[in-house]
Amino acid sequence: MKKNYKILKGLIVKEFTHILRDWRTLILLLGMPGVLVLLFGYVMNIEIEGADVGIIDNARDTDSQYIINKLENSGFFEVVKYLKSEDDVDAEFKQGTMHMVFVFEKDFGYKLRHENESHIQLITDGSKLLNVSSLVNYATAIIKEYQFSLSYQKVDYLITPEIRMFYNPNLDGRYMSLPGLMAFIIMIVASLIASLSIAKEKELGTMELLLSTPVNRYFVMFAKIVPYSITCFVNVLTIIWLSKYVFEIPIVGNLSLLLGTSVLFILTSLALGLLISSWANSQLTALMLALTGLMLPSALLSGMTFPINSLPLFLQWCSHLIPAKWFMIINRNTLLQGATLEDLRLEVLMLGVMVVVFFGLSIIRFRPRVNN
């Protein structure tokens, strides 16, 4: 027993030495998640106070003037320039002087009052994708508000905001969030480092030497998991710290529940990494498998980029198999809504089942067999 403990300790010390000696990779492992979160976080939380906008007012009546005033008073928009025609928009967008232009049609007020319907065109710079959708939402809300205030006086006036996106005409509602990003980062980091570390030993032949010794193969696997779980847990702490203190996302829920489920999710990801390495005999193969087999599905089917209920039914079913999806639900709900373990029974159970299944599979597949 004591002997086994010593053998295991030797294996774990060796893994730690590998990690610490390769300080470049270590910096990458610990630093990258932070950098990614900062990048994504800032892109997502762009302050829309005082967005620079342009106006093309073909009507020049009281209604158009009223809406322009409302836009300016809202604090979200700052009118920097009145343009003559739509032909100027492209140049302005390219110079970056404004991100949005409001076009009032000719006889805007007249049509509104006599035909009960008139149009405002909202031209936006689609290349500034993430903040543009919120700009459009704010602008639409302001226009609707004005419409309501008119309807109060008389019957249904209808102002239809027509939204035109320059450079990216098919803007879909984008759905990104820090919890999703956290699930994604942990999944990728954990599965990559676990699979690469074993694939490396296979590639260099040290695995063959290791397996020619009487060492228990489960010990070899366990020794890989310990240091990498710790690395990933540090990543979780970094991300939570950044979300709380840099992005000021309040942590409503129970922090220990979040950390506990994070460990579960880290183990799931590491188990997937081990499973990948049982197919891959080289680091390159492991990398390719992890990228195509885990990164893409985790990004597309976890709900991080697209809301799951907007996916085709078949893909919705597939998404149940993506561990990141379950962890994302858990950490979004605990972080932002204060959900308890009781509320998240299904999600935690799913992760638990996945840990057992993936570890089981990788243990079955991790044999002291070597390729020719």
Partner 1 sequence: MNIYNPEYAIEVNHLTKEFGEFTAVNDISFNVKKGEIFGFLGANGAGKTTVIRMLIGLLRATKGDILINGIDIRYHVEEVKKTIGYMSQKFSLYNDLTAIENMRFFGGIYGLSGKEIRERSDELLDQFKLQPLRKKIVGSLPIGWKQKLAFCTTMIHQPSIIFLDEPTSGVDPIIRRQFWEIIYELSNKLITILVTTHNMDEAEYCHYTSMMVKGKIIALDSPLELKKQYNAQNMNEVFLQLATT
By the criterion CB under 8 A, which residues form the site for partner 1?
Answer: 3, 6-7, 9-11, 13-14, 17-18, 21-22, 204-206, 208-215, 368-370, 372
Residues 6+ apart with CB under 8 A from 299: 184, 305
**Bridge partners, residue 163, by sequence:** 122
Of 154 and 369, nearer to partner 1 (C-beta) is 369
Q: CB of residue 24 vs partner 1: minimum separation in angstroms?
A: 12
Of 2 and 154, nearer to partner 1 (C-beta) is 2
Q: CB of residue 201 vs partner 1: minimum separation in angstroms?
A: 9
Q: CB of residue 273 vs partner 1: minimum separation in angstroms?
A: 20
Of 7 and 130, nearer to partner 1 (C-beta) is 7
Alpha-carbon Rg for the chain, nearest whole angstrom, is 27
Residues 328/304, Cβ–Cβ less than 8 Å:
yes
- Which DSSP string corresponds to 157-189? -EEEEEEEEES-SSPPPP---HHHHHHHHHHHH
Query: One-letter amino acid identity for 211?
Result: L
The encoded tokens of residue 231 equal 């690395």
Give the DSSP H or E segment for 57. strand 51-57
The encoded tokens of residue 49 equal 């106070």
Q: CB of residue 17 vs partner 1: minimum separation in angstroms?
A: 6
Of 27 and 39, nearer to partner 1 (C-beta) is 27
Q: CB of residue 12 vs partner 1: minimum separation in angstroms?
A: 11
Q: CB of residue 234 vs partner 1: minimum separation in angstroms?
A: 21
Name the residue with tokens 């009507």: 59
Relative orientation angle of helices 283-290 and 255-279, to the nearest 10 degrees: 130
Of 58 and 281, nearer to partner 1 (C-beta) is 281
Of 18 and 81, nearer to partner 1 (C-beta) is 18
Could you tell me which of 270, 250, 275, 277 has the C-alpha nearest to residue 334?
250
Q: CB of residue 358 vs partner 1: minimum separation in angstroms?
A: 26
Of 22 and 115, nearer to partner 1 (C-beta) is 22
Residues 6+ apart with CB under 8 A from 21: none
- Rama region for 159: left / alpha / beta (φ>0; ψ in -120 to 50; rest): beta
Dihedral angle sign, alpha carbons of residues 339, 341, 346, 352: positive
